[in-house]
């Protein structure tokens, strides 16, 4: 559980290898046609651009010595044309690759989001939301250019090197070898820093993830922060995380800066050697000034692709750290899914059977052990007991948000592990403790679980749970815009809207987890009237700490000690003077 903390670096589940990059090629291959066009345009632009030094050499060695000034205008126009055509082709190519890059970003991000939608609750229990969010947004952005322009540019720069080398050797073999003399030094520098550079960017990735996680957590808990005057302490924590990120970033950038520094200096030294060898060692009798001028131009051009390749290498090293995180997320197993051969659950009556069910969130630590009970269709069951005993766990297992460790759960005789999740959950109405409100209108929030619901059905559901009155008090009524998590609404209003959303689906099995915990006593009495009608003919599981809300349930189960300590009606359990009696008596005394 250590990775569930914002100040703990994530460890990769497996080391990076080339297969991760091959997996990324799946997205690249989908853009094969535009990328081939872009590559052709780039190659043509490069070839045209490389003709400029040859034109310059001809002018210096032939046209000017012959004092043929009239052709100079034509040669100048031709050189200008090569520049214009090269720029136009490069612009078209850039526009194509911008679209390709955005298409790749979109596909990776959609695949990530789809996968996250299917991951079980346990995945989110173990990780801060900020560390998940950064993978969908920041990390995908970071790899997009490498997976689009990076591939094209890598191939193009190699082609450029081949073209430039061919032109160089065609002009002068001896000075060409002078140009190539700096390559061994450059390769030595690359080999020396590559491992440390990758580790440095992995560290940057970790610190960025930590900073993002704490920022998200702080924004979500801003009310608690201000309530306890924690602003100054939180600023100190954020400052420390930001300083860690800055330190790792600067360390990684030092490695990045070393490569262009090496290339620039090697290019300068090689160019100086060309003039030195050409003018002093060979001399005017053996080599013309036009050749030296052309070779110095080609030498500068030769090292430019190497610098570009080194920058691409830097980008690739950076992207590797992010690709590792992206594919780690995509490789996260979807443990709660339709099993092979799963069939659709037919329309149910609502019989629920627990048969020797054992379950624990962590291996070796069971919350429930050998739990067995049977609920008849239409029966209302209240789950009460101490905090942490497993009440919410029971209803989570019925909905198959988690899989049991042992035993089985059946609905109308069907093992829920052998039916499709959609057919199971579509026949359930589930209201968890967290009354989550999405950004949008109140109408959209109630309709969230039944998109084809009419406005009349939505209003009817709101009236049943006594939400209609307060909704109509808003100026825009049901069309009132609410923020994410419903910050404009009271906690009680949020719960009533969530309750209406649950009831709208007209479920056969109704699960209410602390559904009335934030509703005042007057509203609760009104809500109970609607609930009494709603619960008729439906199997229901109700979790509530306020026992006044569950007195009328058909059966009350006291959950404790990894199972059901006692069960019966309200009157039966009071007569036993056991766990429920003590809990009920204690609440009456507190009241």
Q: What is the pLDDT of residues 16-25, one digit of tens each?
A: 556 667 777 8
Distances (CA, A) of 46 to 162, 167, 293: 11, 12, 20
Q: Which of 39-53, 272-286, 463-477 has the lowest mean pLDDT?
A: 272-286
CA separation for the pair 48, 43 (Å, rounded): 9
Classify residue 120 as exposed, middle or buried by CB count within 10 Å of its CB (0-12, 13-18, 19+).
middle
pLDDT more than 70, % of the chain:
88
CA separation for the pair 216, 210 (Å, rounded): 10
Sorting pLDDT into bands at 50, 70 and 90, what band is 416? very high
Please give the pLDDT value at position 67. Answer: 73
User: Do residues 351 and 376 make contact, with C-beta atoms less than 8 angstroms apart?
Assistant: yes
Cα dihedral angle (80, 83, 88, 90), rounded to 10 degrees?
A: 180
Please give the pLDDT value at position 519. Answer: 62
CA separation for the pair 141, 148 (Å, rounded): 12
The crossing angle, in degrees rounded to 10, of helices 183-220 and 289-330 is 40
Average pLDDT over residues 128-157: 76
Report whether pLDDT(1) > 50. no
Distances (CA, A) of 24 to 3, 71, 119, 273, 308: 26, 52, 21, 43, 22
Highest mean pLDDT pick, 45-49, 303-307, 331-335: 331-335
Report whether pLDDT(284) > 70. no
Query: Other C-beta atoms within 10 Å of 183: how many?
Result: 14
What are the DSSP calls for 490-519, one per residue?
Answer: -HHHHHHHHHHHHHHT--SEEEEESTTTTS
Sorting pLDDT into bands at 50, 70 and 90, what band is 2? very low
Report whether pLDDT(39) > 90. no
Please give the pLDDT value at position 484. Answer: 66
Average pLDDT over residues 280-290: 69
CA separation for the pair 511, 543 (Å, rounded): 8
CA separation for the pair 550, 556 (Å, rounded): 8
**Which residue has better confidence, 483 or 442?**
442
Average pLDDT over residues 124-148: 76
pTM for the whole structure: 0.66
Element counts in the chain: helices (H) and strands (E) = 22, 12
Please give the pLDDT value at position 370. Answer: 94
Please give the pLDDT value at position 211. Answer: 85
Report whether pLDDT(412) > 80. yes
3 state SS of 368: strand
Q: What sign results for the dihedral spanned by CA atoms 21, 24, 26, 31?
A: negative
Which domains can be identified in the chain, with CATH numbers?
2-330 (1.20.1560.10), 350-427+509-591 (3.40.50.300), 435-506 (3.40.50.300)
Please give the pLDDT value at position 8. Answer: 65
pLDDT more than 90, % of the chain:
20
Q: For residue range 563-579, what is the model confidence (pLDDT) as tens digits?
A: 999 999 999 999 999 99
Please give the pLDDT value at position 478. Answer: 92
Report whether pLDDT(44) > 80. yes
Sorting pLDDT into bands at 50, 70 and 90, what band is 138? confident
CA separation for the pair 353, 350 (Å, rounded): 10
SS3 percent helix, strand, coil of the chain, rounded to 5, is 65, 10, 25
CA separation for the pair 207, 549 (Å, rounded): 48
The two beta strands, 406-411 and 414-415, are: antiparallel
**Which residue has better confidence, 16 or 167?**
167
Please give the pLDDT value at position 301. Answer: 77
Please give the pLDDT value at position 282. Answer: 65
What are the DSSP calls for 465-479, one per residue?
Answer: TT-HHHHHTSTTGGG
Phi then psi for residue 287, to 5 deg, are: -150, 140
Highest mean pLDDT pick, 135-149, 303-317, 365-379: 365-379
Highest mean pLDDT pick, 27-36, 530-539, 551-560: 551-560
Cα dihedral angle (136, 139, 145, 148), rounded to 10 degrees?
A: -60
Q: Which of 32-41, 48-57, 113-122, 358-367 has the lowest mean pLDDT?
A: 48-57
In 3D, which of 182, 159, 184, 186 has the Cα closest to residue 299? Answer: 182
Sorting pLDDT into bands at 50, 70 and 90, what band is 479? very high
Please give the pLDDT value at position 10. Answer: 63
User: Do residues 1 and 126 make contact, with C-beta atoms less than 8 angstroms apart?
Assistant: yes
Query: Other C-beta atoms within 10 Å of 251: how many?
Result: 16
**Which residue has better confidence, 220 or 576?**
576
3 state SS of 18: helix
Please give the pLDDT value at position 533. Answer: 64
CA separation for the pair 394, 515 (Å, rounded): 16
**In the chain, what is the straight-line distance between the N-terminal and C-terminal CA atoms, in Å?**
39
Q: For residue range 501-522, what is the model confidence (pLDDT) as tens digits?
A: 888 878 889 888 876 665 666 6
Please give the pLDDT value at position 523. Answer: 63
The chain-wide mean pLDDT, for the chain, equals 81
Q: What sign results for the dihedral spanned by CA atoms 452, 454, 459, 463?
A: negative
Q: Which of 18-22, 151-155, 364-368, 530-534 has the lowest mean pLDDT?
A: 530-534
Report whether pLDDT(14) > 50. no
Highest mean pLDDT pick, 42-46, 86-90, 531-535: 86-90
Contacts of 210 (CB under 8 A, 6+ apart): 6, 7, 8, 9, 131, 241, 244, 245
Please give the pLDDT value at position 13. Answer: 45
Highest mean pLDDT pick, 63-67, 92-96, 215-219, 243-247: 243-247
User: Do residues 358 and 407 make contact, with C-beta atoms less than 8 angstroms apart?
Assistant: yes
3 state SS of 304: helix
User: Do residues 134 and 209 make contact, with C-beta atoms less than 8 angstroms apart?
Assistant: yes
Sorting pLDDT into bands at 50, 70 and 90, what band is 290? confident
User: Do residues 563 and 356 make contact, with C-beta atoms less than 8 angstroms apart?
Assistant: no
338's tokens: 């339709």
Please give the pLDDT value at position 434. Answer: 65
């Amino acid at each position: 559980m250590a990775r569930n903390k914002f100040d703990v670096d994530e460890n990769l589940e497996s080391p990076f290898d080339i297969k991760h990059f091959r997996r990324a090629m799946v997205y690249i291959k989908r853009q094969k046609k535009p990328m081939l066009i872009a590559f052709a345009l780039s190659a043509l632009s490069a070839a045209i651009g490389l003709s400029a030094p040859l034109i310059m050499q001809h002018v210096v060695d032939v046209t000017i010595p012959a004092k043929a000034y009239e052709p100079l205008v034509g040669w100048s126009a031709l050189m200008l044309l090569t520049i214009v055509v090269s720029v136009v082709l490069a612009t078209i190519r850039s526009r194509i690759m911008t679209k390709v890059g955005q298409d790749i970003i979109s596909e990776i991000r959609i695949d990530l989001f789809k996968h996250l939608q299917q991951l079980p609750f346990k995945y989110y229990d173990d990780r801060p939301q900020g560390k998940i969010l950064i993978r969908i947004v920041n990390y995908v952005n970071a790899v997009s250019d490498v997976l689009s322009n990076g591939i094209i540019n890598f191939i193009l720069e190699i082609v450029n090197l081949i073209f430039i080398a061919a032109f160089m050797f065609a002009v002068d073999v001896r000075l060409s070898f002078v140009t190539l003399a700096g390559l061994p030094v450059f390769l030595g520098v690359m080999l020396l820093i590559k491992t440390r550079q990758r580790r440095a960017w992995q560290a940057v990735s970790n610190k960025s993830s930590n900073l993002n996680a704490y920022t998200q957590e702080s924004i979500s808990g801003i009310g608690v922060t201000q309530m306890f005057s924690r602003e100054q302490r939180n600023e100190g924590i954020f400052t420390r995380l930001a300083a860690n990120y800055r330190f790792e970033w600067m360390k990684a950038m030092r490695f990045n800066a070393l490569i262009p520094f090496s290339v620039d200096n090697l290019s300068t030294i090689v160019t100086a050697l060309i003039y030195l060898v050409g003018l002093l060692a060979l001399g005017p009798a053996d080599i013309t000034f036009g050749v030296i001028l052309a070779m110095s131009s080609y030498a500068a051009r030769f090292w430019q692709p190497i610098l570009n390749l080194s920058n691409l290498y830097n980008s690739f090293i950076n992207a590797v750290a992010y690709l590792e995180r992206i594919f780690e997320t995509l490789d996260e197993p979807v443990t709660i899914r339709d099993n092979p051969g799963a069939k659709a659950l037919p329309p149910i009556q609502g019989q629920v059977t627990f048969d020797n069910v054992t379950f624990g969130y962590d291996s070796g630590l069971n919350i429930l052990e050998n739990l067995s009970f049977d609920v008849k269709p239409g029966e209302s069951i209240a789950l009460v007991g101490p905090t942490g005993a497993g009440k919410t766990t029971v209803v989570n297992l019925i909905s198959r948000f988690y899989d049991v460790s042992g035993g089985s759960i059946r609905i109308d005789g069907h093992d829920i592990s052998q039916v499709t999740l959609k057919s199971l959950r579509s026949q359930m109405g589930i209201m968890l403790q967290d009354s989550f409100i999405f950004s949008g209108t109140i109408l959209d929030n109630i309709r969230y679980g039944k998109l084809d619901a009419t406005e009349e059905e939505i209003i009817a559901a709101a009236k049943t749970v006594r939400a209609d009155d307060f909704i109509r008090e808003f100026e825009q009524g049901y069309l009132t815009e609410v923020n994410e998590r419903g910050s404009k609404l009271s906690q009680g209003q949020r719960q009533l809207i969530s309750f209406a959303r649950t009831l709208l689906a007209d479920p056969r099995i109704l699960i209410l987890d602390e559904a009335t915990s934030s509703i005042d006593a007057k509203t609760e009495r009104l809500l109970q009237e609607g609930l009494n009608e709603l619960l008729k003919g439906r199997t229901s599981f109700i979790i509530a700490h306020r026992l006044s809300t569950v007195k009328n349930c058909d059966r009350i189960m006291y959950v404790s000690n990894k199972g059901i300590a006692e069960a019966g009606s309200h009157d039966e359990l009071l007569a036993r003077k056991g766990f429920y009696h003590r809990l009920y008596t204690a609440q009456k005394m507190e009241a």
